[in-house]
């Protein structure tokens, strides 16, 4: 059984890395395709890749990954595509959270964990191009394993046809995994990406799930793979359609104000941000999601 789980963890980690490679190549291709607008005279953006490391309390290494960030491109003002595999023991606060939220009281006696995943956030040059977030992940403890993730669209200027396309692709990839799964994950995203102190969502939604474990690892892994596979066909056509659309200072102002909402959510509510910082992962990688510039009025 232990050998089987080690094989499964390796499969998951390899998949997240392959999805990262596919997305990085596609995003650099979008940069190459930009031929018009005020940023077309600059060279196409490329990702800067940095190895990340998680330090164990004893000073040893406890995993790491790749932080891939592109800044000031033709299409992407800032985009990060991070992948990591980390392991170790959870601190007291994380142990208590696991015991309370996931019903895993054994975490106090054996707080070991392993986690792997991909996390992506893109902030765009053109205010007509929507920002986007995506992640998929697997988490293991001696007391249970689960998958989580999803993607959500964050336009500062909303287009109904863009929202419809994004959700239609998500639905197509969710449907093979059960009737009503898309509706369940959409409702979960609507609740999760809500900003209580602003009384509104941070975007136009998408899909989200966490703690996903039916007991059938192969089926659950196939589901999280399809959530990852849905990302590029859901998002890339929107960028291709909007990247050459003209804009000026009024549209940029709208974008910067909307980014303030995004920053507030990620710093105050996002569980992934809190987990990454509390477990000692590279802070730059964890906070990669923050926009390069934002505005509050």
Segment 4-28, tens digit of pLDDT: 989 999 999 999 999 999 999 999 9
| Global pTM value | 0.91
Q: Tell me how far apart the alpha carbons of residues 240 and 284 are, in angstroms, rounded to a whole number.
A: 29
- The domain locations on the chain are 9-289
pLDDT > 90? residue 283: no
**Which CATH code is given to the segment(s) 9-289?**
3.40.1500.10
Q: Tell me how far apart the alpha carbons of residues 138 and 224 are, in angstroms, rounded to a whole number.
A: 9
pLDDT band, very low/low/confident/very high, at 234 (cuts 50, 70, 90): very high
Backbone angles phi, psi at 127, to 5 degrees: -60, -20
> Average pLDDT for residues 132-139, to the nearest whole number?
96
On average, the pLDDT of the chain sits at 90
Which amino acids are annotated catalytic?
133
- Which pLDDT value is given to residue 94? 72
pLDDT > 80? residue 207: yes
Query: CB of 83 within 8 A of CB of 15?
Result: no
Segment 52-85, tens digit of pLDDT: 887 766 655 688 899 999 999 999 999 999 999 9
pLDDT band, very low/low/confident/very high, at 1 (cuts 50, 70, 90): low
Q: Identify the residue with better confidence: 297 or 45.
A: 45
Nearest CA to 88 out of 65, 108, 61 is that of 61
Query: CB of 151 within 8 A of CB of 234?
Result: yes
Query: CB of 45 within 8 A of CB of 29?
Result: no
The CB-side HSE value for 133 (13 A sphere, CA atoms) comes to 25
Three-state secondary structure call for residue 209: strand
- Which pLDDT value is given to residue 36? 67
């Amino acid at each position: 059984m232990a050998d089987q789980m080690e094989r499964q963890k390796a499969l998951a980690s390899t998949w997240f890395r392959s999805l990262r490679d596919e997305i990085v190549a596609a995003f650099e291709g979008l940069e190459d395709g930009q031929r018009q607008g005020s940023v077309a005279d600059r060279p196409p953006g490329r990702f800067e890749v940095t190895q990340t490391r998680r330090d164990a309390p004893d000073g040893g290494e406890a995993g790491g990954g790749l932080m891939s960030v592109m800044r000031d491109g033709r299409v992407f003002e800032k985009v990060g595509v991070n992948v990591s595999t980390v392991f170790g023991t959870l601190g007291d606060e994380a142990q208590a959270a696991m015991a309370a939220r996931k019903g895993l009281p054994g975490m106090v006696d054996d707080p070991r964990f392993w986690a792997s995943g991909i996390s992506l956030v893109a902030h765009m040059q053109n205010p007509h191009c929507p920002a986007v977030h995506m992640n998929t992940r697997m988490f293991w403890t001696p007391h249970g394993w689960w998958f989580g993730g999803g993607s959500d669209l964050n336009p500062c200027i909303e287009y109904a046809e863009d929202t419809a396309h994004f959700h239609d692709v998500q639905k197509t990839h969710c449907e093979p995994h059960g009737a009503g799964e898309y509706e369940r994950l959409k409702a979960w995203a609507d609740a999760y990406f809500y900003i209580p102190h602003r009384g509104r969502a941070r975007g136009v939604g998408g899909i989200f799930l966490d703690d996903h474990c039916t007991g059938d690892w192969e089926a659950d892994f196939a589901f999280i793979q399809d959530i990852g596979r849905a990302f590029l066909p859901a998002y890339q056509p929107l960028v291709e359609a909007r990247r050459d659309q003209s804009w000026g200072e009024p549209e940029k102002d709208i974008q910067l104000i909307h980014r303030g909402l995004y920053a507030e959510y990620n710093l105050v509510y996002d569980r992934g941000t809190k987990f990454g910082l509390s477990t000692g992962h590279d802070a730059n990688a964890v906070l990669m999601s923050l926009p390069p510039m934002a505005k509050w009025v």
